[in-house]
Structure formats: structure tokens, C-alpha cells
A and B are shown apart, each in its own frame.
Chain A
Amino acid sequence: MSDAPRGEYAIVAEDVVKTYDGGMVRALDGVSMTIAHGEFVAVTGPSGCGKSTLLHLIAALDHPTSGRIIVNGRDLRTAGNEEYRRNEVGLVFQLHNLLPQLTAIENIEVAMFSNGMSHRAQRERSRELLDAVGLTEKEKMTPPRMSGGERQRLAIARALANDPSILLADEPTGSLDSAAVERVLELLRTIRERHDVTVLLVTHDQHVASTAERIITMRDGKILDALPRA
């Protein structure tokens, strides 16, 4: 985790607008919000409401058309995207996006290139993470030989490789059966508690969203409400 001053909030969005097709499509329409350090927040809403777009902007995978996003006190307009994605945020996708030719432990290590750690330290860290997500026995297994739940847990381990302060998960349970969903959600809660990580979870599943401390509901590119869990 970075030692730089983190700012008052983990994530701040100020009047963020994102349009496509020359303004014809307005994916985000003046979104403003704050997320505190260590908070577990779910963003929910129907398909096309802009929740994934918001996550992509926070992950610096895309840029706002206007407005600004500040993460740990850093304005993403001026931050170096690669260094930011490597050190500040961990990303988990619905389709896990693991590299099929690499083993479980190598899939974690591949995210640690350029972080300055020795190969030995990278391997130790990867083993710790495999242990944390319950995949110690699967260290040498490649993703195609793992179950959907195991792959997603491995993807979470990879997201934590560089000890980020923020974990961004885009529909991480979207392709899992109910037992695997529960295990992944439990894992996210545990990680948040043990690693002091801010978790932003995007989901259209109300049950999944209900595990968060706060639920932000979106519709048509706007935030409808941001309420604590009932």
C-alpha cells in the first residue's frame, strides 16, 4: 500500500460525466460521491445504468468526459495510469481474466512485475495470497482446470498482489453458482477487514449488494441514493 498522504476520502467523484458517440450516449451524467477509507460499498442498478462505467473510470481504465475523480488524494487526471493501476487499485472482473497458460501462483506473480520485489519475495507474497483465498493446494494448477469459484478467488488474490488500498470488483459473482457466490462474498468481507482495504463492488444482484455497508443505487447515469445497508 502506498505511503503517500491518502486524503480525507478513499474515492471522491465530482460531477463526473462520461459520454460516448460524440455525446449521443450519456453513460454518466454528473455523478458525485465520496467513499471513506476502509468502506465496503456496493454500486447497484439495472443494466446500462452506468455502474461499470463508473468503476472503469475509478480504475483509470478510461477517462471522464468532464468532472474529476480523486483517489487517495490523487487527481486521476494527473496520475500516471499504469503506476496507479499497479499500486493503488486491484481489479476483479466478472470473467476473471486469468492467463490460461500460467499456473495459479504465476497468475498472481504476473501482476507483480515492476513492483521492485525480488522473485523470492514475489513468490512468498503469492503463496500468502493463495492461502488467504483458500487455494494453497491449487498453486500449480492452471485456470482451465479450476472451478468458476476457484478462478474468481484466484482473480481476487491477483488483485491484491501489490497490496492495493482499494479493491474494485465488477460483477465478481456474475458467473458463479450460489455456493461460490457466498464464498467469494465472505472472502471480500474478510479481505476488507484483515487488509484494511476499501472495497467497491459493482453488481446488479440485490442479495450481493446487501453484503456491503453502503449501497449506491444508480439509474440512467445518475446516483439515485447512497444509503447504509438496511
Chain B
Amino acid sequence: MPFQLLILRNVFTRKVRSGLTGMAVAIAIMTVVALGVLTHSLHQTAISVLETGQADFTVAQKGVSDVLYSAMDESEVSRIQQTSGVQSVVGVLVAAVKLDTNHPFFLELGIQPNELAPFGVQVVDGRAYNANATDEVMLGYSAANDLHKKVGDTINIDGHNFRVVGIFRVGNVFGDSASMLPLTTLQANERKPGDVTLAFVKAKPGANIDAMRSTIEHDQPELATVRTVSDFGRVDRNLQLISAANVAISILALVIGAIGVMNTMIMSVFERTREFGVLRAVGWTRARVITLVMSEALLIALLGAVVGVALGFVAIKLLQRVPEVIGVFQPAYTADVFGRALGIAVGMAIIGTVYPAVRAALLQPLDALRHE
């Protein structure tokens, strides 16, 4: 009989105990997967804001709790423009508003019409808004489809009535789900005259982008430049906190899951004392006993992880139906999240089984055989 078959037989013979242990692991893994997907999705959503413009890097106010709270005045944008190597800078005011219960997180991007092209905006229907128009808006094609709006329709955004004059595409899911209107109009509506949220910087061909970023941050220490996802925490403390909470909860899930595994495996070893005595009496080595116990726990943990991942998917689907959450994030199922779940499941099995396995291996055969 292959050793693996013995492991399978032991796990599936004790269905209730294996099932309960597996469920403990599954719940922990579900938490890890759901939180991981949520955090990653929020990360992706946030980074999408920065990727909307076709820029080499983005500039925002340093250390704000949320990137949408970043505020720069036009003089700061002008100074960025004067930095050596900068080809163009597009200042954009971003506002997040609630359209209705199905669209609680709708973005308005305030941008001057002459900067639409450098920003990568392609008008696919109608025309661009006029620079000083107070009632003209363009919708991204995804937003237009979702809201069933076309050129010539009207739309109320945050208490202001607009006429849809054009439909645009930027080639980015997040941008294509947003609206665009004149910068001055949005500044007035948001009571932020002269302010922009983000500056999208395009470098001249061959320019040293890292040197350019250093110069900007040196000259204007209140600003931070963002080029990669890992830079994002510098301009969004909330996301940093969420990521940290995700790590902390993963560690907590690992510890709680490991304690659950340890609890049931200790019970299992206690109940199977005589069995281990028999195996030792017929010549099994301590190492083989340890391998058996740990392999059983590992199998249970891996099966629990599979169930946990499935439950994680279900949890995310349910979360997306919560009114407060609808539209706030799009789930991003990445290998990283599942890799972490698998790692935590294996960790639970190993940490939770070391003591029971060693205890089983150290049983004296004669004492174990006498066990009732």
C-alpha cells in the first residue's frame, strides 16, 4: 500500500474530525482571500486614477489620507512644468460623487479641453466641451452605456444639471467609467478655485525620469511623485493602512487557524495513541510517524484551503451586493492572493501539527499499546 493511500484513508475515515478541522482552515482562508481580493481591488481602483492620463508619472500632495484629498494649486503645477526634462503637465481636479444607489462612487474629472489630447482622451461621439461651459459634460463610453445616456441627453451630477456633449474613451476601465467637464466648472462646483488634485507629467524623450522626480520632490517637498504601484502609499495613507490591516489579519488568521489545527490534531493523536503504539511496535520510525501526522494535517489544510478560496469568491460576490459597497471596487483575483492563501494553509498545517506530531512520535510503544 502506498504511504499516500494510508494518509488518504486516515483522513477520510475520520470524516467528522477532518471536516471540522478543514472548515476551521476554510474560514480562515476565506477571510484571507476576501480581504486580499478587496485590498488588491482597492489598490487597483486607486492606481487606475493615476493611470487614466497617459503620463510617465503623477504628482500629488504628499501624505494625504486619500489620494482624492490631494490638493495642489496652479502655481505648483507651473513650477512642475518648469522642471528640466518635463514635456507637458496636465492638472486634473478629481471629485468622487454619489450618482444613485447603483453608482455610489462616480468620478468627475475636471480638465481643460485643450489638454484632453495630451491626456490621451479620444472623443468617440459628439464633441469636447467648451472651456468655460458650466453645463457641458462628456461621459466615458462605459459610463454612458451603464447610465443609458447618449449625446444630447441631460444628467444630474451632485445637484448640477449637465448636457452630455460627447462620449470619450481613454483606454482605461476606470477612466472610461467616469465623466469629464471643464476644470474651472468643477473647481467652482467643488469650491476649490485654482486647485487640482493630480498633475500628470509627460517627460521629453530620453529624459531621466528618476532625476526629474527627485528634482520636483526636492523643490516642492509638500509633493510626492508616483510612478509605480509601490509608490502609491506615499500619497494615500488609507490604502497603506488597509494593506497593513490585510497583512495583520492574515497573520491573525494563520495563528487562529494553526491553533484550530493543533487542537484537533492533539485530540486525534490522543485518540489514536494505541494505533501509534502498534505502528511503533511493528518497526515504524519516529520520523515516519511525524510524516504521517503532518501529511494528514497538510491534506486537510489543503482541502480546507480549496473550500476557503471558493467561500472567498462567494464572500466577495455577496460583498458586492451590499448597497454601501456597490460600484466602489471591481474584484481583482490575482495569483498573489491565492498564493498567500495557499501559503497560509500550509503554514497552519505545519505550525499546528509540530507539537501533536512530535508527541505521537515520542510515545513509548508499550505505554501506547496499554492505552485504553
Contacts and interface: CB of A to CB of B under 8 A. Distances in A.
Contact of B366 (A61, A98, A102, A161): A61
Contacts of A99: 275, 278
B274 interface: yes
A97 B369 contact: yes
Contacts of B14: 101
Residue among B1, B283, B366 with max Cβ neighbours from chain A (10 Å): B283
B281 A59 contact: yes
Contacts of B13: 101
Interface residues of A, number: 30
Given A101-B10, A102-B9, A110-B6, A158 B283 contact: no
A61 B283 contact: no
A113 B288 contact: yes
Given A109-B1, A113-B3, A91 B288 contact: no
Contact of A114 (B9, B278, B288, B369): B288
A66 B288 CA distance: 31
Contacts of A110: 1, 6, 279, 282
A109 B282 CA distance: 11
Interface in A73-119: 82-87, 91, 93, 97-99, 101-102, 105-106, 109-111, 113-114, 119
B1 A122 contact: yes
Interface in B262-291: 274-275, 277-286, 288
Nearest to A108: B1
Interface in B173-213: none
A56 interface: yes
Given A110-B6, A122-B1, A85 B281 contact: yes
B9 A91 contact: no
B159 interface: no
B365 interface: yes
A101 to B, nearest CB: 4
Contacts of B10: 101
Contact of B9 (A98, A101, A158): A101
Interface in A38-70: 56, 59, 61-62
B1 A114 contact: no
A162 interface: yes
A87 B283 contact: yes
A140 B110 CA distance: 77
A101 B274 CA distance: 13
10 contacts: A61-B369, A82-B285, A82-B286, A97-B277, A102-B9, A105-B1, A109-B1, A110-B282, A122-B1, A123-B1
Given A86-B283, A101-B10, 5 more contacts: A83-B283, A85-B283, A97-B277, A119-B2, A162-B283
